[in-house]
């Protein structure tokens, strides 16, 4: 699904306000690195166990990347706030 969007340029509307899917993917990955490190740190502080914190962080990493990418692509379809 995600890779199909990157490969398929026919669905991409070329204008100055749209983002290419690859940009959304790169933003997704960079944000998830920051967010996952935050989740791991908070989980470690709360549980006192690094193993538990890493387990929580690894599950959160995957699920939130998928949700963020979908969120970005949906917002890219909405004209509100675009010029």
* Structural domain for 27, as ranges: 20-77
Rounded-to-integer distance, Cα 4 and Cα 33, Å: 23
Residue 13 within a domain: no
Residue 12 within a domain: no
Cβ atoms of 79 and 66 within 8 Å: the answer is no
Residue 52 within a domain: yes
Domain count, the chain: 1
Which pLDDT tens digit goes with each residue over 10-61?
555 566 667 888 998 898 788 888 999 999 999 999 999 999 999 999 999 8
Residue 3 within a domain: no
SS3 39: helix
Alpha-carbon distances of 52 from 6, 73, 77, 81, rounded to whole Å:
35, 32, 38, 41
Residue 10 within a domain: no
For residue 78, the model assigns a pLDDT of 92
Residue 27 within a domain: yes
pTM: 0.57
Residue 54 structure tokens: 């890493």
């Amino acid at each position: 699904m995600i890779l199909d969007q990157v490969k398929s340029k026919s669905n991409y509307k070329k204008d100055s306000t749209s983002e290419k899917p690859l940009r959304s993917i790169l933003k997704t990955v960079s944000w998830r690195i920051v967010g996952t490190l935050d989740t791991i740190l908070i989980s470690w502080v709360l549980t006192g166990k690094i193993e538990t914190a890493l387990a929580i962080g690894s599950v959160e990493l995957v699920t939130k990347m998928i949700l963020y990418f979908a969120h970005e692509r949906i917002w890219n379809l909405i004209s509100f706030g675009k010029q």
